Structure 1
Amino acid sequence: MSNTNPHPRPTRWPWLAAAHEGGQLWLYDPRRIGSPVAVSRAELEAVQLFTSRLTVPEIHSTLAAKFGPTFLGLPALTALVTKLDESFLLDGPAFREYLAGPVRRPSCVGCYPPEPEAIHAQMRGLFTGPGGPGPVGDRRTDGPRLRAVLVPHMDYARGNVTYGWGFKELAERTDARLFVIVATSHYSPARFSLTRMNFATPLGTVETDQAYVDRILQSYGSGLFDDPFAHLPEHSVELEVVVLQHLFPDRPFRIVPLLVGSFGDCVSSLTPPDRVGQIQRMVAALQAAEAAAGEPVCYVISGDLAHIGPKFDDPEPVREPLLGESRKQDEAILAKLNAADGEGYFNVIAAEGDARRICGLPPTCLTLATARPTAGRVLHYQQFVHPQGHESVSFAAAAFYE
């Protein structure tokens, strides 16, 4: 049996968790790489032993010695291993095949519905909801060329019309079919993470421009694929892809998905990011890749502003005057975005030691240094506040022009 089992020594992800819901015990992946699986108490006991040390028969013998020979049969244990493998809850053959494959599966279904028509209805609300910019109009050719937009990556329910303000400007101001999505990295310690995977959602599959990725890699050098997990659970690219798919159902487009990790070293040393060697290399690589593209390129900055409150380990619930003080600090940041002043934007955040956790700092600084816009415009701003003061997250939409 152990010779035919695809997992002679099954290995669960160490971060897996279990919870009761709807009268059922579920094993799930908080990082959203794998899909939840309903398990019994006996199966959950078995999963504790999936640590790569024991074969399936050895796990069976261990359980039988501890709980009795009828606790969990060998066929049931083998079936459990297969079920968890197929759900990507094990570091096994199915997951490794997926990791080496060409398509990233969506990880954010639930933030948006699984049915295409329901997604489109939700997306329309980002533009037409209260305070929204209204439906997208015809392409506009007046004014300077759009270089980049800043949009949230909050869930759509809370980010709502702020998404619409940023993406309406994108849809009306650029004819680009190539979007470099520069996004906050929430799960990886790597400074920069690229992927060659195409992005699948219920609205279809969006192609990642392989030649563009090659050019970045050629200019930057190695290290951009060091964390193969970085993009799999990440929402900050996927949520922008879905809006683009809604906007351009008949306009084929490609993306370049780049995750940007912490610039905490820049903040602590008060060093503007574009003066740090590794970041300078990425700026140069992105500029070289765009210069060789032979077509218009538009940057999409995926980033939010402040994260405050007990959810983020602050001691006090979020309420006035804390909210007003945070809003005032946000206004100082937004003033720099209005001026397309990337260094000034960084300096405002660094001066407060990034105490409010501005997650959009890395992608915004990198993109402004790369695209070198001469003008900016803040289009919309919001502060989400949890009803019990557990958290507040602020976010904005902005546009940057040549």
Structure 2
Amino acid sequence: MKLPGIRCDLEFFPIQHEGQQFVLIRDGLGLVEEGKAVGLPLFQIMGLLDGDTTLRDLQTALMRQKGGTLVSTDEIQRLVAHLDESFLLDSERYREARNRMIADFASRRLRPCSHCGKSYPRTPSELKARLDKILNSHPVPAPSETKITALMAPHIDLSVGFRSYAAAYQTLKGTACARIILLGVGHQLQGSLFCLTDKDFETPLGLLQADQEAVGRLREAGRDIIAANDFVHRTEHSIEFQAIFLQHVLPDLSPAIVPILCGSLQAGLPDYTRQAYQETAGGFLENLKSLVREPEQDTLIIAGVDFCHIGPKFGHTMPAPAMEAQARTHDRNLLRHLVNQDADGFWQESRSVGDRFNVCGFSALACLLEILPDCRGEVLHHEIWHEPPTRSAVSFAAAVFRQKPESPDRETCPARSLQ
């Protein structure tokens, strides 16, 4: 009899504790106990459970691991039962629990905040004070009369990416818009290019109401490439973090939102090319582009993305410091193509490195490039944050896209020098 495989939606991160190696398990659904870690021997056993492994296969592998010592089937069954009780297996027990969660979320009209009280304060006064502190860490930009068309901000933890958040959202103060298209990264999205929701977003600062009519149009246009349900929005932070900044810097506006999570393009396309992307998602992208251009709706686009993820935590054998120079070059090239609206160059840069640096925001930015009207882009900030315990690092940036002045002889604003 085949044993259940390990869930494919879990994330694993190597950590050290008291000089020993462990693997930290992160579950976006919240079924696995928060902070749960396993030792390397158990993690190696878990790696054998692919859905095709039998009890006898596992018994043989355990005997090898223990130097030929026989491991009883009862002991193996207890081990498998423990993994199942911990919601680590793609078993009937896990699927039933997940289906209950999907049904519960589907029945709700609101998407409640999932990171309040953890990543940022739950009370409005404390949250406003926290956001003010972040925004005040960056100089207030000089006033500009040119309309902001789009904004790129990070989605990394606020305490890490505060400089980029500040650089992005300081520029947005005083902006007027009736609708905001929010492009986020579906970290748990599998098997679909996009996931939409028509739920209103609830945060400690109030509600952001979804543009249900626009979401319905997009669902119809991309029915074959959009997730069947909106469940991955439940705990995804990449849009939620943008929501609280929007409510804070635009307190007098009540724009409708179109929340879109973007999935992996490597997994979702027949070929990792812009042409394949346009052919597969063409109808959806054209409808999204038409929303941006509707004359009766003043629409803003915001992309919540991060860039390179390097080091052992993200699957590399080399530590992040050894990869940093190459990662910075990759970021610099991507950002240059992005602000110049060179979609072909943007794709080619990713293809040239085989997405070696795990740019999690690539799919959202690829979507942004397809729907942006002709405008002027500017990189506002770029940074790489190192996590010494895991010898890993993440890069992130901020950028703004403004409507081009009427004068035809001015060139696109180049990216700022990235240190």
Q: TM-score range by the shorter chain?
A: 0.7 to 0.9
1:73 is matched with none
Given candidates 145, 149, 157, the residue that maps to 1:142 is 145
Q: Secondary structure at the match of 2:341?
A: coil
1:7 is matched with none
1:133 is matched with 139
Q: What is the distance in 2 between the residues matched to 1:29 and 1:391?
A: 17
Q: 1:99 to 1:15 in 2, by over 3 A?
A: same
- Map 1:62-101 onto structure 2 (within 5 A): 90-91=97-98, 96-101=103-108
Aligned-residue sequence identity (percent) comes to 25
Q: 1:350 to 1:266 in 2, by over 3 A?
A: farther
Q: 1:270 to 1:30 in 2, by over 3 A?
A: closer
1:201 is matched with 203
Corresponding letter in the other structure for 1:184: V
Q: What is the distance in 2 between the residues matched to 1:142 and 1:16?
A: 46
1:185 is matched with 186
TM-score normalised to the size of structure 2?
0.69
Given candidates 104, 127, 135, the residue that maps to 2:111 is 104
Q: 1:365 to 1:93 in 2, by over 3 A?
A: closer
Q: Secondary structure at the match of 1:378?
A: strand
Tell which deviates more after alignment, 294-303 or 266-275.
Answer: 266-275
Deviation of the 1:268 alpha carbon = 8.8
> What are the superposed Cα offsets for residues 43-71 of structure 1, whole Å, 9 maximum, x if unpaired?
xxxxxxxxxxxxxxxxxxxxxxxxxxxxx
- Map 1:351-362 onto structure 2 (within 5 A): 351-362=352-363
Q: What is the distance in 2 between the residues matched to 1:336 and 1:94?
A: 41
Corresponding letter in the other structure for 2:157: D
Gaps of 5+ in 2: 1-6, 12-24, 35-95, 404-419
Q: 1:94 to 1:377 in 2, by over 3 A?
A: closer
- Residues 291 and 299, structure 2, Cα contact 8 Å, conserved in 1: no
Q: What is the distance in 1 between the residues matched to 2:267 and 2:383?
A: 28
- Is 1:31 paired with 2:28? yes
| Paired residues, number | 321
1:75 is matched with none
- Residues 273 and 347, structure 2, Cα contact 8 Å, conserved in 1: no
Q: 1:177 to 1:126 in 2, by over 3 A?
A: farther
Tell which deviates more after alignment, 219-228 or 347-356.
Answer: 219-228
Deviation of the 1:283 alpha carbon = 1.2
> What are the superposed Cα offsets for residues 335-381 of structure 1, whole Å, 9 maximum, x if unpaired?
22232222212211111000001111111111111123332110110
> What are the superposed Cα offsets for residues 109-135 of structure 1, whole Å, 9 maximum, x if unpaired?
211011111111111122212xx233x
> What are the superposed Cα offsets for residues 202-231 of structure 1, whole Å, 9 maximum, x if unpaired?
111211111111222343345534133221
Tell which deviates more after alignment, 349-358 or 92-101.
Answer: 92-101
Given candidates 120, 142, 149, the residue that maps to 2:128 is 120
Q: Secondary structure at the match of 1:298?
A: strand
Corresponding letter in the other structure for 1:30: D
Q: 1:95 to 1:142 in 2, by over 3 A?
A: closer
Q: 1:186 to 1:243 in 2, by over 3 A?
A: same
Gaps of 5+ in 1: 1-12, 18-27, 38-88
Q: 1:278 to 1:395 in 2, by over 3 A?
A: same
Tell which deviates more after alignment, 287-296 or 330-339.
Answer: 287-296
- Residues 193 and 263, structure 2, Cα contact 8 Å, conserved in 1: yes
Given candidates 194, 205, 210, the residue that maps to 2:212 is 210
Deviation of the 1:14 alpha carbon = 11
Q: 1:204 to 1:266 in 2, by over 3 A?
A: closer
TM-score normalised to the size of structure 1?
0.72
Q: What is the distance in 1 between the residues matched to 2:100 and 2:330?
A: 49
Deviation of the 1:32 alpha carbon = 4.7
- Residues 176 and 253, structure 2, Cα contact 8 Å, conserved in 1: no
- Is 1:171 paired with 2:173? yes
- Residues 273 and 365, structure 1, Cα contact 8 Å, conserved in 2: no
Q: 1:381 to 1:93 in 2, by over 3 A?
A: closer
Q: 1:199 to 1:395 in 2, by over 3 A?
A: same
Q: What is the distance in 1 between the residues matched to 2:343 and 2:298?
A: 22
Q: What is the distance in 1 between the residues matched to 2:294 and 2:139?
A: 35
- Map 1:359-378 onto structure 2 (within 5 A): 359-378=360-379
- Residues 274 and 280, structure 1, Cα contact 8 Å, conserved in 2: no
- Map 1:154-303 onto structure 2 (within 5 A): 154-172=156-174, 174-189=175-190, 190-221=192-223, 224-264=226-266, 269-272=271-274, 276-292=278-294, 294-303=296-305
Deviation of the 1:92 alpha carbon = 7.3
Tell which deviates more after alignment, 330-339 or 215-224.
Answer: 215-224
Deviation of the 1:97 alpha carbon = 3.9
